[in-house]
Structure 1
Amino acid sequence: MDEVTIELVRHSVAEEQYLYPAVREHIDGGDRIADKEIVDHGRVEKILKQLEKVDTDDPQMSTMLQQLMDEVAAHVQDEENNIFPMLRRACTPQQLDDLGDKIRRAKTMAPTRPHPSAPSTPMASKLLAPGVGLVDRARDFVTGRGKS
């Protein structure tokens, strides 16, 4: 569960910093699309935060995991079927490569724990995420979290 949480949080932060600003800039109706995706991320982060507090033998665990899988599956399907094709039509291959590079770099600095109350605006995230990520990674190192 820790590894899933780490990857989902890093992925969400990177998308909020770079993907959704690109959606806003390059896609007609991009503000509406990006806002919806950020709300979806918020739901996932809340579930992840709740899962942190639940023991694996708790009867709620399987229900919460199913909610998480449903949310993530719907999000991935929306990106693959809608957002990515629209970006491919609106952006040059170089722009898409640059966007991918930025997202990959952002993931390395992103937090590894859910922070549902953290600001989700790109500027705030770019300013705060590296520091929060550093603290999260230090906590992970000390506790061994995320190491299989």
Structure 2
Amino acid sequence: MTSRSQVRRLLADGLGYEEAGRRLGVPAGKAFLIATGLPADGGGTPATAERRRPGMPGRSTQHLAGPPAVNPTSDDTTRHWLRRRAVADVQMRRAARGHGVGPQGERVPDGVRDLTDVLTHDHDRLTALVKQLQTLPGARQGATEAQRRRRRAVVDVLAEALASHVPAERRWLWPLVRETLDGGDRLADRALEQDDEGPDALAGLRRTPPDGEDFDALAERVGGQVRRHVAFADAVFARLRQTVPQDVRERLGAEVVRAWRDGPPPPGAQEAPP
């Protein structure tokens, strides 16, 4: 039979209860009970006298009393089961087929011409794409092949949207900010710095296969950049609405809508000044 002195001798040598119990052939919780006279799974906070007993550790002892904690969602068997359940669910498959990649509806609703409203609607579309990218399971969540293809498609749509959104802001929004707002140069310079950070991450994301964790990390980085851009621009829009006359905002907004509708000019063509 294991004695208290045997357990305490091993503890004095610097061993923990798990190792002491293993050497003595008893469970760790029983080794704790022998050494202290207290159950390892005792509820509540030990009294001061109990905390002073020889062998009392300075942290919780619950782990000594039961099996190690396991997160079932990290188990490959569980992930495979969840995927099979999702694939077998008719309603989930029907919903997935009916929900296309990208935001729904027109890029700019009819009648919207205010520059700040035009760009706000486009920001909503960018945000919706980022949410789709974050909602779809990635490699760490055991994404299926169909989900990986869908994530890739969302990235392509996001890149296409940014390819016309960013130039529109550079041509019409930030020059207006420089001309009309106090501290406009500082605001515009900060926005352009944000824009310069985006292409490398987005290009890297498009080059990365969607079946690895590198894709997940780059997707999170691009999503963060989009969210920061939208929050910064929204604060600027509020100031423009207070400072710039509505007819000026509507004239510039109409220019943006026209540029998006007509597409980029052919190579070699000169752009008209804003």
Normalising by the residue count of structure 1, what TM-score does the alignment of the two structures yield? 0.70
By relative contact order (CA 8 Å, sep 6+), the higher-ranking structure is 1
SS in 2 for 1:86: helix
SS in 1 for 2:182: coil
1:14·1:104 contact (CA, 8 Å) conserved in 2?
no
SS in 2 for 1:55: coil
Residue in 2 aligned with 1:61?
Answer: 215
Residue in 2 aligned with 1:36?
Answer: 190
Give the letter aligned to residue 218 of structure 2.
M
Find out whether 1:25 has 2:179 as its counterpart.
yes
Give the letter aligned to residue 62 of structure 1.
D
Change (3 A) 1:107 1:42: farther
- Count of aligned positions: 113
Normalising by the residue count of structure 2, what TM-score does the alignment of the two structures yield? 0.39
Q: Which one of 162, 177, 180 corresponds to residue 8 of structure 1?
A: 162
Select the structure of larger CA radius of gyration.
2
* C-alpha distance in structure 1 between counterparts of 2:185 and 2:259, whole Å: 21
> What is the CA deviation profile of residues 61-93 of structure 1, one whole-angstrom value per residue up to 9, with x for unaligned ones?
11111111111111101111x200111111111
Moved over 4 A (4+): none
SS in 1 for 2:242: helix
Q: Which protein is richer in helix relative to its size?
A: 1
* C-alpha distance in structure 2 between counterparts of 1:34 and 1:74, whole Å: 14
1:13·1:107 contact (CA, 8 Å) conserved in 2?
no
In structure 1, list runs of 5 or more residues that go unmatched: 111-129, 133-148
Identity, % of aligned pairs?
A: 28
> What is the CA deviation profile of residues 23-66 of structure 1, one whole-angstrom value per residue up to 9, with x for unaligned ones?
11111111111111011011111111111211111321111111
* C-alpha distance in structure 2 between counterparts of 1:66 and 1:14, whole Å: 25
